[in-house]
C-alpha cells in the first residue's frame, strides 16, 4: 500500500509538471503568433523608421511680377544644415564638431538645438540656414563624424531690386505656435515659413504652394544609401501687380533718404503704379533669418522703417486740402471763380488772428490766385462761410477720412472732423476758429498719402472715386487666370464739370504760372496740375524763422505735394509726403516731377529753386 501510494503521488506531480510545461509552450507559441501575425505591421513600421527617413521638400513660393511681366520677387536655392534628434547619441560631441565646421559659437548651436525640441522626433530641424558652399562641402566631407546631420536645399525669397517696394511685398517668418493653433490647421508644421506682412501675408494661400517629400534609405550611421520615393513639391501661383517697376525705382530714388511716402495711381482705373514708404527695410534679411538684435533695432527706430506710411501714415493734408474747401464752396454757391477776398496777411476772428503764410498778404485774391499762391486768408474766409460739416461732406465724397479697402492690412482712415464727431469725442461744441483751421487742412484733419492720391485722381477724372488696388491678376502654373481685378467705383463727388474745371485751372497755375508754389514740377512737354502743402508739426511762437534749418528735425513742418497729368487727358495722379521736409514746393514737387518724367518717357532734369518754394 505505501508503495502504491508513493507511485500515485509521483505520477500526479509528473502530470502537473507536464501540464505546466505544455502551458508555457502554448503561451510562447501564442506570443510568437501575436508578434508575427497580429502585430507584424506595427513592428515592420518601427523597423522601417530605423532605416527610412522622411525628408520634407519645401515648395517654392510663387513669383511676383510687375504689370509688364518684369520679375520683382523670386526664389533662390539656399543650403541649410539640419539635424535629426533620433539619430544623435552624443549631443555635446556632435555640437562641438559642428561648431568648428560651421564657424558658429557653441552657445548659439545649443540654443538652436534646444529650440528644435519643439519639432517631431523624426523631422529634421535647422541648425544653420543659408550657409555658404564652402561650409556645405566641409559638412559633407565629414558626414561620417556627424550622425544625424543633413545638408538640405531650401528655396529662399530673393529680391532683385533689394529693398524696393519692401512694404508692399512684406516679409516671411517661421510659423509660430499661435499660427499653428489658429486657422492654419495641418497645412503648416514647425519650421515652415509664412507671410507675416504685406502681400506675402495677404496672398499666403496663393503664393505658398504644396510641400513635397523624399523617402530615403539610410544605414545605421545615418548615411543615405538610396532614394526610395519622391513626391515633388508644387510651386505657388504667379502674381502680377499693377506696379510699373521702372516707375517704382524712380520714385524710390527720388524720395532718397528722406522719410515719407509717395503714391502714383492710374487716374482711370485706380491701379497703383508706384507706392513708396521710407525709410524701408531689407526683406532679404527676413528671408534668411533676422537676428533678435536686428528686429529690436527696427522696432525702436524713431523713423519707423517697418510702417507702410503710404497707407498707415496719417498727416495733416495742409494746403493740398484747399481744393476740397474750394469745391465745397463752389458746389454750395458760396463763391464763384471770380469771387475775391482781400488778403492783408492775417484774418481776425473773435479777437484772434489767423496768419497767412505770406506776412504782408496777397492783396485781392480770386479762386485761381488763391490756389496758385496758396493764400490762407482766402480759404479762412470761405471755410468760415461754408461751415465744417459742408467741408467734411466734400472731403468724404472725395475719399478722405475713411479706409479705402486697399488689399493690405492695417490701412488707416485718417480723420475728417464734424460737429457730431467732436461732441462724441470730447463732449464739446465745435468752434468757428476750428473751422478756419480745418479749411486749410490743419487742426484735427488727417489723411494718408494713399487717400491724397485717390482724391487727386477723382479731381482729375471728373469726380469718380476709384478703389485703389495693386493686384492685377493671379495665374496658376499653366497660365490659367485665377483672379483678375477690374476698376471699382466706390464713390462720386457729384460735382459739376464747371466747378471741377475751375479748381483744375487753379492747380495748373500752381505749376505753370509765375508765382505758383509748385513750379518745380513744371514740364515743357506735359501740362501738369498740382498743389503744394506745408503741414505744421508744432506751433511756432515767431512768425517765421529766417533760417529754418536751425529748427530741430522733429519740429520741422511736413512737406506735401499732389498732382496729375496731363491736364488735357489725365492718366496719372501723384501724392507725395516728405516728413519734416518743410515745404511742399521745394521737397515734394521735385519728387513728383521725377515720377512724371519717368512715366511719360521724358529725360530727367533739374530745377533751380526759387523763393516761391518757401510759400507752402
Question: E strands within 485-545?
Answer: 489-492, 529-535
User: Of 82, 163, 319, 446, which one is the catalytic site residue?
Assistant: 319
Residue at grid coordinates 487742426: 443
Query: What span, in angstroms and rounded, lies between the C-alpha atoms of 505 and 513?
Result: 11
Decide: helix, strand or coil at residue 110: helix
Backbone φ and ψ of 174, nearest 5°: -65, 140
Q: Is 158 a catalytic residue?
A: no
Report whether 562 contacts 573 (CB < 8 A): yes
CB within 8 Å of 429: residues ≥ 6 apart: 419, 422, 423
SS3 of residue 254 by DSSP: helix
**Interacting residues of 49 by C-beta distance below 8 A, sequence separation 6+:** 122
Q: How far apart are CA 546 and CA 268, in angstroms?
A: 43
Which of these, 129, 167, 136, 181, lies nearest to 305 by C-alpha position?
167
d(CA 216, CA 71): 35
Give me the half-sphere count of Cα atoms (radius 13 Å) on the Cβ side of residue 101.
24
**Distance of alpha carbon 225 from alpha carbon 90, whole angstroms:** 23
- Joined grid coordinates for residue 77: 536655392
Maximal CA-CA distance, the chain: 151
> β-strand 193-195 against 212-218: which pairing, if any?
unpaired
Q: Residue 443 has which C-alpha cell?
A: 487742426
Phi first, then psi, for residue 86 (nearest 5°) are -65, -20
Which residues have a catalytic role annotated? Answer: 319
Amino acid at each position: 500500500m505505501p508503495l502504491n501510494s508513493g507511485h500515485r503521488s509521483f505520477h500526479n506531480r509528473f502530470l502537473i509538471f507536464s501540464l505546466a510545461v505544455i502551458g508555457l509552450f502554448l503561451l510562447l507559441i501564442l506570443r510568437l503568433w501575436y508578434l508575427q501575425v497580429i502585430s507584424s505591421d506595427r513592428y515592420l513600421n518601427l523597423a522601417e523608421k530605423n532605416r527610412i527617413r522622411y525628408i520634407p521638400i519645401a515648395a517654392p513660393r510663387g513669383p511676383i511680377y510687375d504689370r509688364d511681366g518684369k520679375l520683382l520677387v523670386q526664389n533662390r536655392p539656399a543650403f541649410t544644415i539640419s539635424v535629426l534628434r533620433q539619430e544623435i547619441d552624443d549631443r555635446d560631441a556632435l555640437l562641438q564638431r559642428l561648431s568648428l565646421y560651421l564657424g558658429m559659437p557653441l552657445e548659439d548651436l545649443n540654443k538652436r538645438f534646444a529650440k528644435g525640441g519643439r519639432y517631431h522626433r523624426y523631422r529634421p530641424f535647422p541648425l544653420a540656414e543659408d550657409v555658404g558652399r564652402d561650409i556645405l562641402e566641409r559638412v559633407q566631407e565629414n558626414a561620417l563624424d556627424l550622425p544625424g546631420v543633413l545638408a538640405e536645399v531650401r528655396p529662399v525669397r530673393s529680391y532683385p531690386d533689394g529693398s524696393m517696394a519692401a512694404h508692399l511685398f512684406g516679409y516671411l517668418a517661421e510659423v509660430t505656435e499661435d499660427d499653428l493653433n489658429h486657422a492654419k490647421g495641418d497645412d503648416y508644421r514647425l519650421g515652415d515659413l509664412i507671410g507675416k506682412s504685406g502681400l506675402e501675408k495677404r496672398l499666403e494661400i496663393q503664393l505658398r504652394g504644396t510641400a513635397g517629400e523624399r523617402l530615403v534609405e539610410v544605414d545605421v550611421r545615418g548615411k543615405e544609401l538610396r532614394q526610395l520615393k519622391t513626391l515633388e513639391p508644387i510651386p505657388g501661383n504667379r502674381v502680377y501687380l499693377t506696379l510699373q517697376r521702372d516707375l517704382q525705382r524712380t520714385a524710390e530714388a527720388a524720395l532718397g533718404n528722406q522719410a515719407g511716402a509717395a503714391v502714383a495711381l492710374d487716374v482711370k482705373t485706380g491701379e497703383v503704379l508706384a507706392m513708396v514708404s521710407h525709410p524701408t527695410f531689407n526683406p532679404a534679411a527676413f528671408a534668411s533669418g533676422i537676428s533678435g538684435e536686428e528686429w529690436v533695432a527696427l522696432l525702436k527706430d524713431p523713423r519707423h522703417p517697418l510702417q507702410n506710411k503710404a497707407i498707415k501714415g496719417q498727416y495733416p493734408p495742409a494746403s493740398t486740402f484747399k481744393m476740397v474747401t474750394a469745391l465745397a464752396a463752389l458746389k454750395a454757391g458760396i463763391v464763384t471763380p471770380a469771387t475775391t477776398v482781400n488778403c492783408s496777411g492775417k484774418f481776425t476772428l473773435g479777437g484772434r488772428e489767423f496768419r497767412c503764410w505770406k506776412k504782408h498778404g496777397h492783396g485781392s485774391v480770386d479762386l485761381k490766385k488763391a490756389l496758385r499762391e496758396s493764400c490762407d486768408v482766402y480759404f479762412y474766409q470761405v471755410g468760415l462761410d461754408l461751415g465744417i460739416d459742408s467741408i467734411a461732406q466734400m472731403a468724404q465724397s472725395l475719399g478722405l477720412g475713411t479706409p479705402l479697402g486697399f488689399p493690405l492690412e492695417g490701412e488707416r482712415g485718417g480723420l475728417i472732423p464734424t460737429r457730431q464727431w467732436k461732441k462724441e469725442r470730447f463732449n464739446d461744441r465745435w468752434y468757428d476758429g476750428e473751422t478756419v483751421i480745418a479749411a486749410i487742412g490743419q487742426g484735427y484733419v488727417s489723411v494718408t498719402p494713399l487717400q491724397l492720391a485717390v482724391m487727386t485722381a477723382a479731381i482729375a477724372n471728373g469726380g469718380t472715386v476709384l478703389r485703389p488696388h495693386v493686384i492685377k491678376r493671379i495665374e496658376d502654373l499653366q497660365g490659367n487666370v485665377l483672379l483678375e481685378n477690374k476698376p471699382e467705383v466706390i464713390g462720386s463727388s457729384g460735382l459739376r464739370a464747371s466747378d471741377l474745371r475751375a479748381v483744375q485751372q487753379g492747380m495748373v497755375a500752381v505749376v505753370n504760372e509765375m508765382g505758383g508754389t509748385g513750379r518745380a514740377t513744371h514740364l515743357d512737354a506735359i501740362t501738369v496740375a498740382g498743389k503744394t502743402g506745408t503741414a505744421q508739426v508744432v506751433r511756432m511762437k515767431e512768425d517765421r524763422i529766417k533760417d529754418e534749418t536751425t529748427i530741430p528735425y522733429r519740429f520741422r513742418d511736413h512737406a506735401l505735394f499732389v498732382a496729375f497729368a496731363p491736364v488735357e487727358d489725365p492718366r496719372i495722379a501723384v501724392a507725395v509726403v516728405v516728413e519734416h521736409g518743410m515745404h511742399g514746393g521745394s521737397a515734394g514737387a521735385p519728387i513728383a516731377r521725377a515720377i512724371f518724367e519717368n512715366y511719360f518717357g521724358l529725360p530727367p532734369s533739374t530745377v533751380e529753386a526759387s523763393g516761391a518754394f518757401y510759400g507752402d
